[in-house]
Amino acid sequence: MTFEHFSFDPRILARIEAAGYVTPTPIQTRAIPQVLAGRDVLGLAQTGTGKTAAFILPILQRLSKGPRGRVRALVVAPTRELAEQTHQAALDFGKKIGIRSVSVYGGVSKSSQISQLRRGVEIVVACPGRLLDLAHEGEIDLSRVEVLVLDEADRMFDMGFLPDVRRILKLTPNRRQTLFFSATMPPDIRRLADATLKNPVTVQIGEIAPAKTVSHAIYPVPDKLKKALLLAMLEQTATGRVLIFTRTKYRARNLARDLEKKGYRSAALQGNMSQNQRQRAIAGFRNGKYDFLVATDVAARGIDVSDISHVINFDVPDTVDAYTHRIGRTGRAHQMGEAFSLAGQDDAEMIRAIEKLLGSSLERRRLPGFDYGNFAPEQQFQGAPARKTSSRSRPSSRNNARRNNDHRSRRRRRPSQVSR
């Protein structure tokens, strides 16, 4: 595929070529058509994936037509570096269509930013604090913003910008297109996404596919701690669409309800539901209304939803066949998927059978920071010792921020955590 596929204005295309871009990156391939179509997008991707061009190019395409001299696109970013980088991309790609962009952040004098704003701009790329200052001083009018981008939303949360972001949202029109990017999805970020996005398309980007697209892991845990472990796990993991399996209809319904209560957009899919209800649940999962579908094996048969980032066996299945069916729903189309199984002592035999089928032993994981009480996950399923800390696991993003204020090293660390 090439950039010509997207039917950009030839003047934008010329700038894409001048930048040396030949093939769109995966996030560009998937997000650009959706942004061009005016859809809200939830992008689960970190820096380095080409996400800047994924939103700035279709924004420029929109701005190439229509009025000039007023703020039509607003990009909110956590750091000056990111704001500056996005502003530069807007200038580079927008050069031939004469789109004006200004970067707005603190720590430098306001006067140059104000004079650029007064001359008239179509794009503002800003950090939250200075943006609010200038908006309150009447120097920036956000009332006619058509597209709002929240970039690196999880970092904005880590840095304490969420109240400011909420204030900024209120200054923009309700009828706008919103593009929301985040590398991780803790509940606060998910709630913010829910509150800002309308019927969004979720685009999740993993690493370029290795031969094996699904990684499997077991989390040994006593039954009574399963729910708590699942919630802790979700808080630590960047997920896209997640399919969760339970043994019974009753457990599916209850778990979906509990997840919903915790702020995770979830639906159940189980045999006691009418055909209509089931279709609504599947459609909602497909179109992004729900991030989590909690299903029984029978009810999940035949659902065809692509881009499932994680399959979680809340209950280990009764047969090896069921395991492969469940897992087959993630890691499709060369995307990375993860399969987690919450396994109790009673599941030892089934785990052995699954390992036999896979031809390798499943990685045992202990969730860092989770209170297991007297239970020792390492001592479960003797013969294949649990790893104490998985290299794929990590402390929650908030703790991460506290421990590590150096954004660059955080950023470096993310790809292996998110692109699974």
- Give the nearer residue to ligand AMP in terms of CB position, either 3 or 157: 3
Pick between residue 24 and residue 317 the one whose CB is nearest to ligand AMP. 24
CA quadruple 189, 191, 196, 201: dihedral positive or negative? positive
For ligand AMP, the closer CB: 82 or 148? 82
For 207, 311, 333, 367, the CA distances from 341, given in Å and listed in that order, are 22, 8, 22, 12
Of 86 and 380, nearer to ligand AMP (C-beta) is 86
The sheet with strand 201-204 has its strands ordered as: 101-104, 123-126, 73-76, 147-150, 177-182, 41-44, 201-204
The CA distances from residue 397 to 155, 235, 291, 374, 403, in Å, are: 8, 9, 19, 27, 10
Residues numbered 4 to 63 that lie near ligand AMP (CB under 6 A) are 21, 23-25, 28, 47-53
CB of 98 to ligand AMP, least distance (A): 22
Residues 279-298 that bind ligand AMP (CB under 6 A): none
Residues 6+ apart with CB under 8 A from 400: 158, 394, 410
Number of H helices and E strands in the chain, helices first, is 17, 14
Q: Is 370 in the site for ligand AMP (CB under 6 A)?
A: no
CB atoms within 10 A of CB 277: 14
Nearest distance, CB of residue 130 and ligand AMP, angstroms: 22
If the CB atoms of residues 53 and 234 are measured against ligand AMP, the closer one turns out to be 53
Between 49 and 103, CB nearer to ligand AMP: 49
CB of 417 to ligand AMP, least distance (A): 16
Dihedral through CA 106, CA 184, CA 264, CA 328, nearest 10?
Answer: 160
Residue 93 CB, shortest distance to ligand AMP, in Å, is 10
Q: How far is the CB of 84 from ligand AMP (least distance, A)?
A: 12
| 63, amino acid identity | L
Q: What is the DSSP secondary structure assignment for residue 345, as one 8-state letter?
A: G
Of residues 70-109, those binding ligand AMP (CB under 6 A): none
Q: Rounded distance, CA 389 to CA 365, Å?
A: 7
The minimum distance between CB 5 and ligand AMP, in angstroms, equals 12
Q: Which is nearer to ligand AMP, 103 or 266 (CB)?
A: 103
Q: How far apart are CA 134 and CA 368, in angstroms?
A: 43
Please report how close the Cβ of residue 148 comes to ligand AMP at its closest, in angstroms. 18
Residues that bind ligand AMP (CB under 6 A): 21, 23-25, 28, 47-53
